[in-house]
Amino acid sequence: MNRNMLIAGGGIAGMAAGFAAARAGWQATVFERALKFSEVGAGVQLGPNVTRILQAWGLGDALKQVAAFPSGLHARSMTTGEVLATLPVKEAITRYGAPYVTLHRSDLHGLLLQAAVREGVRVHGDAVVQKVSQSADEATFDVMQQAQLQLHTAAIAVAADGLWSPLRQQLIGDGLPIFTGHIAYRALVAQVDLPAHLRSQDVSVWMGSQAHVVSYPVRGGDYLNVVCLAEGRLLDDDANSLQAMQTWNAKKSEAQTLAELHHALRGGCASLTDLMAACSDWRLWPLCGRPAMQGAHEHAQGRVAWVGDAAHPMLPYLAQGAGMAIEDAYELAAQLLGATLANVPERLQQFAHVRWQRNARVQARAVRNGQIFHATGPMRAGRDIGLRLMGARLMDVPWLYGYR
């Protein structure tokens, strides 16, 4: 058998894993169930822990073409608009050796897809991985491709099939993700369409009670990505179609969406209200999750490894879901660099050991950030005082950004 790898799922995790494996000398094949790789998604922030990897992969210049490079990340009060503290993310280059960037998910995905194809990764759309099986020597995918069932065999199988990972359900069997009680409403607005006082090249987090809003530039700074994250209930119909709503493009009626946003942001300051009013075409995303993996034995089993949201879905409150997918890909390739066909299971266990605790820590920190961002009553007052006094020291996360 050759040094082959099969990958289920062609999102950020699948593309990054394929690209990194190809660089490490593996022939990777990605199977993506979508017919084509569409321009879907919202904005993503990438910390220096992630951009350092993209630079090491030779993608720094491509990143510059599409990313924005904010100077500061401002924690603000939703009610007064006051900037409580600023993390000078521009200093990430001197402090952590790589920039803090913001960009559109589809730009990041496009960049990885192009790089993967350049590196010789085979990419198939309209290809649904129905099943994974394995023996001591090989792993097999049953793939439904253009209405035909095909079996593909390789030394390694990677499950990068996202939050609802069918392969996780098959091999780990720990049930479906559950609704976290948080909903993301997001919009994209051209900066030229905003009044001057609402345009921004920085990241702002407006913290309220049981809700917060994040805004930052994407598409090289030409657009502002605006996301309101609120605690709320789903209508019965939505609760029944959670999985179907996670397409990046789900919508409710304009009136319903505006009513929910209005409720989430009640008491918000004028500049935030103006910003929200300037946005339209809101898409929503009910945030679902699952507990962290219990150990390395879940992150990889034999010749199968999990990467990205399939392994560790997380609330977006530390802005690291795609980041951890890229770190997974980097570590996977590092372990596979000198691997032989025989010692693949050992190397995948090593990968799992390196990754599972870090991913679990990031998942837990994202939950904690949500509690801080959404604090009410005295906790909220304490948070604001703490931010005023401690400033950037409270917002910096050296164990996260300084990785490798």
Ligand X SMILES: Cc1cc2nc3c(=O)[nH]c(=O)nc-3n(C[C@H](O)[C@H](O)[C@H](O)COP(=O)(O)OP(=O)(O)OC[C@H]3O[C@@H](n4cnc5c(N)ncnc54)[C@H](O)[C@@H]3O)c2cc1C
The set of residues, in sequence order, having a beta carbon less than 8 Å from that of 318 and lying 6+ positions away, is: 362, 365, 366, 369, 397, 400
CB of 343 to ligand X, least distance (A): 26
User: For ligand X, which is the closer residue by CB, 31 or 356?
Assistant: 31
CB of 250 to ligand X, least distance (A): 11
Q: Report the C-alpha gap between 334 and 377 in whole angstroms.
A: 47
Instruction: Check if the beta carbon of residue 5 is closer than 8 Å to that of residue 26.
Output: yes
Q: Is 396 in the site for ligand X (CB under 6 A)?
A: no
User: For ligand X, which is the closer residue by CB, 99 or 321?
Assistant: 321
Q: Is 34 in the site for ligand X (CB under 6 A)?
A: yes
User: For ligand X, which is the closer residue by CB, 60 or 386?
Assistant: 60
Helix (H, G, I), strand (E, B) or coil at 274: helix
User: For ligand X, which is the closer residue by CB, 79 or 109?
Assistant: 109
Of 32, 138, 327, 384, the residue at the interface with ligand X (CB under 6 A) is 32
Q: Report the C-alpha gap between 156 and 5 in whole angstroms.
A: 5
DSSP 8-class letter at 233: P
User: For ligand X, which is the closer residue by CB, 13 or 20?
Assistant: 13
H-helix or E-strand spanning residue 128 = strand 127-134
DSSP string over 24-47: TT-EEEEE-SSSS------EEEE-
Instruction: Check if the beta carbon of residue 141 is closer than 8 Å to that of residue 152.
Output: yes
CB of 245 to ligand X, least distance (A): 11
The stretch among 257-265, 302-310, 354-362, 373-381 that binds ligand X (CB under 6 A) is 302-310
Q: Is 45 in the site for ligand X (CB under 6 A)?
A: yes
Taking every pair of Cα atoms in the chain, the longest distance, rounded to a whole number of angstroms, is 64
DSSP 8-class letter at 14: H
Q: Is 325 in the site for ligand X (CB under 6 A)?
A: yes
User: For ligand X, which is the closer residue by CB, 119 or 126?
Assistant: 126
The stretch among 169-177, 298-306, 317-325, 380-388 that binds ligand X (CB under 6 A) is 317-325
Of 206, 285, 330, 373, the residue at the interface with ligand X (CB under 6 A) is 285
Q: What is the dihedral of CA 188, 308, 315, 245, to 10 degrees?
A: 60
Q: Within positions 108 to 137, which residues make up the interface with ligand X, using CB under 6 A?
A: 128-129
Contacts with ligand X, residue ranges (CB under 6 A):
8-14, 31-34, 42, 44-45, 105, 128-129, 160-163, 166, 184, 186, 227, 285, 308-310, 316, 319-323, 325
